[in-house]
Amino acid sequence: MSFAKINDDILRTLRPPGVLYYAGLALALSALATGTAAFLHQAQTGLGVAGYEHPIFWGIYITDFVFWVGIAHSGTLISAVLFLFRAKWRTAVARASEAMTVFAVMTAGLFPIIHIGRPWFFYWLIPYPNERELWVNFRSPLIWDVFAITTYLTVSAMFLYLGLMPDIAAARDKVKDWRRPIYRFLSFGWLGTDRQWRHYTALYGFFAALATPLVISVHSVVSWDFAVSILPGWHSTIFAPYFVAGAIFSGLAMVITLLVPMRRIFRLEHYVTVHHFENLAKLMLATSLIVGYAYLTEFFIAWYSGSPFEQGTFFDRMFGQYRGYSWTMFACNVIIPLALFWKAVRTNLAVLFVISIFVNVGMWLERYVIIVTSLSHDFDPANWAGVYQPTWVEAAITVGSFGLFFTLFLLFVKNFPAVSITEMKETMDRSAEADPASAWPEPV
Protein backbone atom coordinates (compact mmCIF):
# COMPACT_ATOMS: atom_id res chain seq x y z
CA MET A 1 0.00 0.00 0.00
CA SER A 2 1.33 3.43 -0.96
CA PHE A 3 0.09 7.02 -1.04
CA ALA A 4 -0.52 6.72 -4.79
CA LYS A 5 -2.56 3.54 -4.32
CA ILE A 6 -4.71 5.16 -1.64
CA ASN A 7 -5.22 8.16 -3.93
CA ASP A 8 -6.20 5.98 -6.90
CA ASP A 9 -8.45 3.63 -4.92
CA ILE A 10 -10.46 6.33 -3.23
CA LEU A 11 -10.70 8.63 -6.24
CA ARG A 12 -11.89 5.63 -8.25
CA THR A 13 -15.23 6.08 -6.46
CA LEU A 14 -15.71 9.28 -8.51
CA ARG A 15 -15.92 7.36 -11.78
CA PRO A 16 -19.30 7.03 -13.54
CA PRO A 17 -21.55 4.86 -11.36
CA GLY A 18 -23.18 1.54 -12.15
CA VAL A 19 -26.79 0.42 -12.37
CA LEU A 20 -27.08 -0.28 -8.65
CA TYR A 21 -26.19 3.32 -7.83
CA TYR A 22 -28.70 4.75 -10.28
CA ALA A 23 -31.38 2.39 -8.98
CA GLY A 24 -30.73 3.61 -5.42
CA LEU A 25 -30.75 7.24 -6.53
CA ALA A 26 -34.01 6.76 -8.46
CA LEU A 27 -35.61 5.20 -5.40
CA ALA A 28 -34.43 8.03 -3.16
CA LEU A 29 -35.62 10.69 -5.63
CA SER A 30 -39.03 9.00 -5.89
CA ALA A 31 -39.36 9.06 -2.11
CA LEU A 32 -38.32 12.71 -2.08
CA ALA A 33 -40.88 13.57 -4.77
CA THR A 34 -43.61 11.78 -2.79
CA GLY A 35 -42.76 13.74 0.35
CA THR A 36 -42.61 17.03 -1.53
CA ALA A 37 -46.02 16.44 -3.08
CA ALA A 38 -47.49 15.60 0.32
CA PHE A 39 -45.99 18.73 1.86
CA LEU A 40 -47.38 20.92 -0.93
CA HIS A 41 -50.79 19.34 -0.34
CA GLN A 42 -50.51 20.11 3.37
CA ALA A 43 -49.33 23.67 2.73
CA GLN A 44 -52.29 24.28 0.44
CA THR A 45 -54.92 22.52 2.57
CA GLY A 46 -53.70 23.22 6.10
CA LEU A 47 -52.40 21.19 9.04
CA GLY A 48 -55.78 19.46 9.34
CA VAL A 49 -54.55 16.84 6.89
CA ALA A 50 -52.14 15.66 9.59
CA GLY A 51 -53.66 13.35 12.19
CA TYR A 52 -53.45 15.76 15.12
CA GLU A 53 -56.24 15.39 17.61
CA HIS A 54 -56.67 17.03 21.01
CA PRO A 55 -54.52 16.74 23.13
CA ILE A 56 -51.92 15.32 20.73
CA PHE A 57 -50.55 18.22 18.70
CA TRP A 58 -47.01 16.93 18.41
CA GLY A 59 -46.87 13.79 16.32
CA ILE A 60 -44.83 12.30 13.56
CA TYR A 61 -43.22 15.56 12.44
CA ILE A 62 -41.63 16.16 15.83
CA THR A 63 -40.78 12.45 16.01
CA ASP A 64 -38.99 12.83 12.68
CA PHE A 65 -37.26 15.99 13.87
CA VAL A 66 -35.83 14.32 16.97
CA PHE A 67 -34.96 11.17 15.00
CA TRP A 68 -32.95 13.03 12.36
CA VAL A 69 -31.15 15.23 14.88
CA GLY A 70 -30.22 12.02 16.68
CA ILE A 71 -28.92 10.41 13.50
CA ALA A 72 -26.56 13.34 13.09
CA HIS A 73 -24.83 12.71 16.38
CA SER A 74 -22.64 9.74 15.64
CA GLY A 75 -20.96 11.64 12.81
CA THR A 76 -19.64 14.20 15.24
CA LEU A 77 -18.79 11.49 17.75
CA ILE A 78 -16.66 9.74 15.15
CA SER A 79 -15.14 12.82 13.57
CA ALA A 80 -14.55 14.92 16.69
CA VAL A 81 -14.68 12.86 19.89
CA LEU A 82 -12.75 9.88 18.54
CA PHE A 83 -10.28 12.31 16.95
CA LEU A 84 -9.56 13.84 20.35
CA PHE A 85 -9.11 10.32 21.77
CA ARG A 86 -6.69 9.54 18.92
CA ALA A 87 -8.71 6.49 17.86
CA LYS A 88 -7.03 5.80 14.53
CA TRP A 89 -9.69 3.39 13.30
CA ARG A 90 -12.13 6.29 12.89
CA THR A 91 -10.27 7.41 9.75
CA ALA A 92 -12.01 4.97 7.43
CA VAL A 93 -15.52 5.84 8.52
CA ALA A 94 -15.18 9.52 9.50
CA ARG A 95 -15.96 11.12 6.14
CA ALA A 96 -19.17 9.20 5.51
CA SER A 97 -20.26 9.91 9.10
CA GLU A 98 -19.51 13.62 8.82
CA ALA A 99 -21.47 13.87 5.58
CA MET A 100 -24.29 11.94 7.20
CA THR A 101 -24.29 14.44 10.07
CA VAL A 102 -24.69 17.43 7.79
CA PHE A 103 -27.45 15.83 5.71
CA ALA A 104 -29.31 14.54 8.77
CA VAL A 105 -29.30 18.00 10.39
CA MET A 106 -30.49 19.54 7.13
CA THR A 107 -33.34 17.03 7.03
CA ALA A 108 -34.16 17.54 10.72
CA GLY A 109 -34.25 21.32 10.31
CA LEU A 110 -37.12 21.04 7.84
CA PHE A 111 -39.50 19.37 10.29
CA PRO A 112 -40.22 22.27 12.65
CA ILE A 113 -41.03 24.25 9.49
CA ILE A 114 -43.28 21.47 8.13
CA HIS A 115 -44.93 21.26 11.55
CA ILE A 116 -45.96 24.91 11.80
CA GLY A 117 -49.27 26.01 10.38
CA ARG A 118 -47.89 28.72 8.12
CA PRO A 119 -44.48 27.46 7.04
CA TRP A 120 -43.86 30.54 4.90
CA PHE A 121 -43.40 32.52 8.14
CA PHE A 122 -40.69 30.21 9.46
CA TYR A 123 -38.24 33.12 9.57
CA TRP A 124 -40.18 34.53 12.52
CA LEU A 125 -38.15 32.07 14.57
CA ILE A 126 -35.06 34.13 13.91
CA PRO A 127 -34.62 37.23 16.07
CA TYR A 128 -34.42 40.30 13.84
CA PRO A 129 -35.69 43.88 14.11
CA ASN A 130 -39.18 43.90 12.61
CA GLU A 131 -42.22 46.07 12.07
CA ARG A 132 -44.12 44.13 14.78
CA GLU A 133 -41.56 45.43 17.27
CA LEU A 134 -41.47 41.99 18.88
CA TRP A 135 -38.55 39.80 19.75
CA VAL A 136 -38.49 36.04 20.08
CA ASN A 137 -38.80 34.59 23.58
CA PHE A 138 -35.29 33.56 24.54
CA ARG A 139 -36.64 31.67 27.53
CA SER A 140 -38.42 29.21 25.25
CA PRO A 141 -36.65 25.91 24.54
CA LEU A 142 -37.96 26.13 20.98
CA ILE A 143 -35.74 29.18 20.45
CA TRP A 144 -32.83 27.32 22.08
CA ASP A 145 -33.46 24.71 19.41
CA VAL A 146 -33.14 27.30 16.65
CA PHE A 147 -29.74 28.35 17.98
CA ALA A 148 -28.56 24.80 18.70
CA ILE A 149 -29.56 23.36 15.33
CA THR A 150 -28.25 26.34 13.36
CA THR A 151 -24.94 26.17 15.20
CA TYR A 152 -24.72 22.41 14.74
CA LEU A 153 -25.43 22.60 11.02
CA THR A 154 -22.95 25.43 10.47
CA VAL A 155 -20.13 23.89 12.50
CA SER A 156 -20.66 20.38 11.08
CA ALA A 157 -20.71 21.73 7.53
CA MET A 158 -17.50 23.70 8.09
CA PHE A 159 -15.85 20.70 9.74
CA LEU A 160 -16.80 18.49 6.79
CA TYR A 161 -15.60 21.06 4.28
CA LEU A 162 -12.31 21.65 6.04
CA GLY A 163 -11.52 17.94 5.91
CA LEU A 164 -12.60 17.79 2.29
CA MET A 165 -10.44 20.65 1.06
CA PRO A 166 -7.15 18.72 0.55
CA ASP A 167 -9.09 15.75 -0.84
CA ILE A 168 -10.92 17.92 -3.36
CA ALA A 169 -7.50 19.26 -4.36
CA ALA A 170 -6.36 15.65 -4.88
CA ALA A 171 -9.44 15.07 -7.06
CA ARG A 172 -8.70 18.30 -8.96
CA ASP A 173 -5.21 17.07 -9.77
CA LYS A 174 -6.44 13.62 -10.77
CA VAL A 175 -9.61 13.95 -12.86
CA LYS A 176 -9.35 15.10 -16.45
CA ASP A 177 -13.01 15.65 -17.34
CA TRP A 178 -15.50 18.52 -17.00
CA ARG A 179 -15.45 18.24 -13.22
CA ARG A 180 -11.90 19.53 -12.97
CA PRO A 181 -12.75 23.28 -12.92
CA ILE A 182 -15.48 22.55 -10.37
CA TYR A 183 -13.02 20.75 -8.10
CA ARG A 184 -10.55 23.55 -8.67
CA PHE A 185 -13.12 26.08 -7.51
CA LEU A 186 -14.24 23.95 -4.55
CA SER A 187 -10.67 23.21 -3.42
CA PHE A 188 -10.24 26.96 -2.79
CA GLY A 189 -6.91 26.69 -4.60
CA TRP A 190 -5.42 24.38 -1.96
CA LEU A 191 -1.69 23.79 -2.49
CA GLY A 192 -0.64 21.73 0.50
CA THR A 193 2.14 24.10 1.56
CA ASP A 194 3.63 23.89 5.04
CA ARG A 195 1.86 27.15 5.90
CA GLN A 196 -1.53 25.78 4.85
CA TRP A 197 -1.05 22.48 6.67
CA ARG A 198 0.03 24.29 9.82
CA HIS A 199 -3.18 26.31 10.02
CA TYR A 200 -5.26 23.37 8.78
CA THR A 201 -4.13 20.99 11.53
CA ALA A 202 -4.58 23.69 14.17
CA LEU A 203 -8.11 24.46 13.04
CA TYR A 204 -9.01 20.78 12.71
CA GLY A 205 -8.09 20.28 16.36
CA PHE A 206 -10.09 23.33 17.41
CA PHE A 207 -13.11 22.16 15.42
CA ALA A 208 -12.92 18.79 17.17
CA ALA A 209 -12.66 20.52 20.54
CA LEU A 210 -15.60 22.82 19.75
CA ALA A 211 -17.77 20.10 18.21
CA THR A 212 -17.44 17.75 21.20
CA PRO A 213 -19.34 19.90 23.72
CA LEU A 214 -21.60 21.02 20.89
CA VAL A 215 -22.76 17.49 20.11
CA ILE A 216 -23.65 16.96 23.76
CA SER A 217 -25.43 20.30 23.97
CA VAL A 218 -27.54 19.87 20.85
CA HIS A 219 -29.44 16.78 21.86
CA SER A 220 -29.62 18.05 25.43
CA VAL A 221 -31.36 21.15 24.11
CA VAL A 222 -33.68 18.97 22.00
CA SER A 223 -34.48 16.90 25.10
CA TRP A 224 -35.29 20.09 27.03
CA ASP A 225 -38.06 20.79 24.49
CA PHE A 226 -39.77 18.05 26.48
CA ALA A 227 -38.12 18.08 29.88
CA VAL A 228 -38.80 21.71 30.80
CA SER A 229 -42.54 21.13 30.42
CA ILE A 230 -44.52 19.67 33.32
CA LEU A 231 -46.09 16.83 31.34
CA PRO A 232 -45.80 13.37 32.94
CA GLY A 233 -43.36 11.27 30.91
CA TRP A 234 -41.46 14.35 29.76
CA HIS A 235 -40.60 16.23 32.95
CA SER A 236 -37.45 14.35 33.84
CA THR A 237 -33.88 15.32 34.68
CA ILE A 238 -32.40 12.27 32.95
CA PHE A 239 -33.69 13.39 29.57
CA ALA A 240 -30.50 15.14 28.44
CA PRO A 241 -28.03 12.23 28.93
CA TYR A 242 -30.73 9.76 27.89
CA PHE A 243 -31.30 11.62 24.61
CA VAL A 244 -27.59 12.07 23.91
CA ALA A 245 -26.90 8.35 24.40
CA GLY A 246 -29.92 7.47 22.25
CA ALA A 247 -28.79 9.88 19.56
CA ILE A 248 -25.33 8.37 19.34
CA PHE A 249 -26.87 4.88 19.38
CA SER A 250 -29.19 5.63 16.48
CA GLY A 251 -26.49 7.49 14.57
CA LEU A 252 -24.09 4.55 14.81
CA ALA A 253 -26.81 2.28 13.49
CA MET A 254 -27.32 4.61 10.53
CA VAL A 255 -23.57 4.71 9.86
CA ILE A 256 -23.57 0.91 9.64
CA THR A 257 -26.71 0.95 7.45
CA LEU A 258 -24.98 3.31 5.03
CA LEU A 259 -21.46 1.92 5.11
CA VAL A 260 -22.24 -1.76 4.49
CA PRO A 261 -23.68 -1.16 0.99
CA MET A 262 -21.31 1.74 0.25
CA ARG A 263 -18.27 -0.42 0.97
CA ARG A 264 -19.62 -3.08 -1.37
CA ILE A 265 -20.69 -0.76 -4.20
CA PHE A 266 -17.42 1.20 -4.23
CA ARG A 267 -15.17 -1.81 -3.57
CA LEU A 268 -13.66 -0.20 -0.49
CA GLU A 269 -13.05 -3.45 1.39
CA HIS A 270 -9.35 -2.61 1.80
CA TYR A 271 -10.16 0.63 3.57
CA VAL A 272 -13.41 0.05 5.46
CA THR A 273 -12.60 -3.30 7.05
CA VAL A 274 -14.52 -5.66 9.30
CA HIS A 275 -12.37 -4.31 12.14
CA HIS A 276 -14.00 -0.89 11.67
CA PHE A 277 -17.47 -2.39 11.73
CA GLU A 278 -16.64 -4.35 14.85
CA ASN A 279 -15.58 -1.16 16.61
CA LEU A 280 -18.78 0.58 15.51
CA ALA A 281 -20.74 -2.43 16.81
CA LYS A 282 -18.97 -2.21 20.18
CA LEU A 283 -19.90 1.46 20.47
CA MET A 284 -23.44 0.61 19.46
CA LEU A 285 -23.62 -2.07 22.13
CA ALA A 286 -22.33 0.32 24.81
CA THR A 287 -24.86 3.01 23.90
CA SER A 288 -27.62 0.39 23.69
CA LEU A 289 -26.90 -0.60 27.27
CA ILE A 290 -27.03 3.05 28.36
CA VAL A 291 -30.35 3.49 26.55
CA GLY A 292 -31.74 0.31 28.13
CA TYR A 293 -30.63 1.53 31.54
CA ALA A 294 -32.35 4.88 30.89
CA TYR A 295 -35.61 3.12 29.95
CA LEU A 296 -35.58 1.18 33.21
CA THR A 297 -34.60 4.26 35.22
CA GLU A 298 -37.59 6.12 33.80
CA PHE A 299 -39.89 3.41 35.14
CA PHE A 300 -38.11 3.43 38.48
CA ILE A 301 -38.48 7.22 38.74
CA ALA A 302 -42.19 6.94 37.88
CA TRP A 303 -42.70 4.36 40.63
CA TYR A 304 -40.48 6.08 43.19
CA SER A 305 -41.99 9.54 42.58
CA GLY A 306 -45.30 8.42 44.07
CA SER A 307 -47.05 10.62 41.50
CA PRO A 308 -50.16 8.82 40.19
CA PHE A 309 -49.97 10.82 36.95
CA GLU A 310 -46.36 9.83 36.32
CA GLN A 311 -47.13 6.20 37.19
CA GLY A 312 -50.28 6.27 35.05
CA THR A 313 -48.40 7.57 32.01
CA PHE A 314 -45.74 4.87 32.22
CA PHE A 315 -48.28 2.12 32.87
CA ASP A 316 -50.26 3.35 29.88
CA ARG A 317 -47.06 3.45 27.79
CA MET A 318 -46.42 -0.27 28.27
CA PHE A 319 -49.95 -1.63 28.64
CA GLY A 320 -52.21 0.97 26.99
CA GLN A 321 -53.27 1.47 23.42
CA TYR A 322 -49.72 2.26 22.26
CA ARG A 323 -48.17 -0.81 23.90
CA GLY A 324 -47.30 -2.39 20.55
CA TYR A 325 -44.99 0.52 19.72
CA SER A 326 -43.41 0.46 23.18
CA TRP A 327 -42.63 -3.25 23.25
CA THR A 328 -41.28 -3.16 19.68
CA MET A 329 -39.08 -0.22 20.67
CA PHE A 330 -37.79 -2.12 23.70
CA ALA A 331 -37.06 -5.22 21.63
CA CYS A 332 -35.28 -3.30 18.86
CA ASN A 333 -33.19 -1.03 21.10
CA VAL A 334 -32.41 -3.22 24.09
CA ILE A 335 -32.96 -6.92 23.38
CA ILE A 336 -31.75 -7.36 19.79
CA PRO A 337 -28.49 -5.35 20.25
CA LEU A 338 -27.51 -7.73 23.06
CA ALA A 339 -26.47 -10.10 20.27
CA LEU A 340 -23.52 -7.75 19.73
CA PHE A 341 -21.86 -9.24 22.80
CA TRP A 342 -20.79 -12.05 20.47
CA LYS A 343 -17.80 -11.38 18.24
CA ALA A 344 -19.27 -13.63 15.56
CA VAL A 345 -22.23 -11.24 15.29
CA ARG A 346 -20.09 -8.11 15.38
CA THR A 347 -17.93 -9.37 12.53
CA ASN A 348 -20.76 -10.63 10.32
CA LEU A 349 -21.67 -7.66 8.16
CA ALA A 350 -24.98 -9.06 6.93
CA VAL A 351 -26.19 -9.66 10.49
CA LEU A 352 -24.83 -6.28 11.58
CA PHE A 353 -26.70 -4.60 8.74
CA VAL A 354 -29.97 -6.26 9.81
CA ILE A 355 -29.43 -5.27 13.47
CA SER A 356 -28.73 -1.70 12.40
CA ILE A 357 -32.08 -1.60 10.57
CA PHE A 358 -33.84 -2.85 13.71
CA VAL A 359 -32.12 -0.14 15.74
CA ASN A 360 -33.15 2.53 13.22
CA VAL A 361 -36.75 1.40 13.49
CA GLY A 362 -36.52 1.11 17.27
CA MET A 363 -35.08 4.57 17.73
CA TRP A 364 -37.72 6.15 15.52
CA LEU A 365 -40.35 4.36 17.61
CA GLU A 366 -38.68 5.57 20.81
CA ARG A 367 -39.28 9.19 19.84
CA TYR A 368 -42.82 8.37 18.74
CA VAL A 369 -43.52 6.63 22.06
CA ILE A 370 -42.07 9.47 24.16
CA ILE A 371 -44.01 12.14 22.30
CA VAL A 372 -47.36 10.53 21.64
CA THR A 373 -47.90 8.43 24.76
CA SER A 374 -47.03 11.32 27.07
CA LEU A 375 -49.31 13.78 25.27
CA SER A 376 -52.14 11.27 25.18
CA HIS A 377 -52.04 10.69 28.95
CA ASP A 378 -51.73 14.09 30.64
CA PHE A 379 -53.29 15.32 33.91
CA ASP A 380 -56.88 15.40 32.67
CA PRO A 381 -58.54 11.96 32.40
CA ALA A 382 -61.04 13.45 29.95
CA ASN A 383 -58.18 13.76 27.47
CA TRP A 384 -57.13 10.15 27.65
CA ALA A 385 -59.66 9.03 25.07
CA GLY A 386 -57.87 10.77 22.19
CA VAL A 387 -56.05 8.47 19.80
CA TYR A 388 -53.45 9.81 17.42
CA GLN A 389 -53.77 8.20 14.01
CA PRO A 390 -51.06 9.30 11.59
CA THR A 391 -52.37 10.10 8.13
CA TRP A 392 -50.98 9.31 4.69
CA VAL A 393 -49.65 12.89 4.46
CA GLU A 394 -47.50 12.44 7.55
CA ALA A 395 -46.33 9.03 6.33
CA ALA A 396 -45.48 10.42 2.89
CA ILE A 397 -43.54 13.36 4.34
CA THR A 398 -41.60 10.95 6.56
CA VAL A 399 -40.79 8.80 3.53
CA GLY A 400 -39.79 12.01 1.75
CA SER A 401 -37.34 12.86 4.52
CA PHE A 402 -35.60 9.53 4.00
CA GLY A 403 -35.63 10.29 0.28
CA LEU A 404 -33.98 13.67 0.86
CA PHE A 405 -31.34 12.21 3.17
CA PHE A 406 -30.41 9.34 0.87
CA THR A 407 -30.45 11.54 -2.26
CA LEU A 408 -27.99 13.96 -0.66
CA PHE A 409 -25.81 11.15 0.63
CA LEU A 410 -25.73 9.31 -2.69
CA LEU A 411 -24.87 12.48 -4.61
CA PHE A 412 -22.14 13.24 -2.09
CA VAL A 413 -20.40 9.86 -2.17
CA LYS A 414 -20.32 9.88 -5.96
CA ASN A 415 -18.94 13.39 -6.35
CA PHE A 416 -16.59 13.70 -3.39
CA PRO A 417 -14.08 11.29 -1.83
CA ALA A 418 -16.19 9.08 0.46
CA VAL A 419 -13.17 8.15 2.56
CA SER A 420 -10.68 10.76 3.73
CA ILE A 421 -7.63 10.45 1.49
CA THR A 422 -5.50 12.70 3.66
CA GLU A 423 -6.25 10.89 6.90
CA MET A 424 -5.77 7.50 5.27
CA LYS A 425 -2.32 8.57 4.11
CA GLU A 426 -1.52 10.04 7.50
CA THR A 427 -2.52 6.83 9.26
CA MET A 428 -0.39 4.83 6.87
CA ASP A 429 2.52 7.21 7.34
CA ARG A 430 2.43 6.87 11.12
CA SER A 431 2.06 3.09 10.99
CA ALA A 432 5.12 2.95 8.77
CA GLU A 433 7.11 5.13 11.20
CA ALA A 434 6.15 2.94 14.13
CA ASP A 435 6.78 -0.35 12.39
CA PRO A 436 8.19 -0.20 8.87
CA ALA A 437 7.58 -3.92 8.39
CA SER A 438 3.83 -3.50 8.62
CA ALA A 439 3.19 -0.20 6.91
CA TRP A 440 -0.47 -0.92 6.46
CA PRO A 441 -2.81 -3.38 8.15
CA GLU A 442 -3.93 -6.17 5.90
CA PRO A 443 -7.63 -6.13 5.00
CA VAL A 444 -9.75 -8.55 6.98
Partner 1 sequence: MEILGIFDRGKTAAAATREILEGELGEVVSYSPVPDHALDQALHVSVSPVRVFVLVGGLLGCFLGFAFPIYTVLDWPMITGGKPLISIPPFVVIAFELTILLGAIGGMIGFLVLSGLPRVFGRPAPDPRFTNDMTGIAVTCARDHAAAVRACLERHEAVEIRG
Q: Which of 85, 121, 206, 300 binds partner 1 (CB under 8 A)?
A: 206
Based on the shown chain and the rule CB under 8 A, indicate whether residue 213 belongs to the binding site for partner 1. yes
Whole-number minimum distance, CB 228 to partner 1, in Å? 9
Per CB under 8 A, does 182 bind partner 1?
A: no
The verdict on 126 binding partner 1 (CB under 8 A) reads no
Interactions with partner 1, residue window 403-422 (CB under 8 A): 422
Is the dihedral angle over the CA atoms 410, 414, 419, 420 positive or is it negative? negative
For residues 335 and 285, the answer to whether their CB atoms sit within 8 Å is: no
Residue 4 within binding range of partner 1, rule CB under 8 A: yes
Question: Looking at 43, 116, 182, 210, which residue binds partner 1 (CB under 8 A)?
Answer: 210
- Distant-in-sequence, close-in-space partners of 388: CB < 8 Å, separation ≥ 6: 51, 52, 53, 56, 59, 372, 375, 376
Q: Choose the stretch contacting partner 1; rule: CB under 8 A; options: 32-40, 41-49, 150-158, 364-372.
A: 150-158
The rounded distance, in Å, linking the Cα atoms of 282 and 271 is 19
- Give the residue from 391, 389, 388 showing the smallest Cα distance to 49: 391
135 binds partner 1, rule: CB under 8 A: yes
Return the residues of window 423-442 that contact partner 1 according to CB under 8 A. 425-426, 429
φ and ψ of 53, to 5 deg: -145, 140
Assess 142 for contact with partner 1 (CB under 8 A): no
Distance CA 161, CA 288 (A): 31
Residue 229 interacts with partner 1 (CB under 8 A): yes or no: no
Distance CA 381, CA 375 (A): 12
Closest to 52 in 3D by CA, of 381, 390, 279: 390
170 versus 332: smaller Cβ distance to partner 1: 170
Distance CA(386)–CA(304), nearest Å, equals 28
Choice between 103 and 190, CB closer to partner 1: 190
Which positions lie near partner 1, rule CB under 8 A? 2-4, 7, 127, 133-139, 143-144, 147-148, 150-151, 154-155, 158-159, 162, 166, 169-170, 172-174, 184-185, 188-203, 206-207, 210, 213-214, 217, 221, 422, 425-426, 429
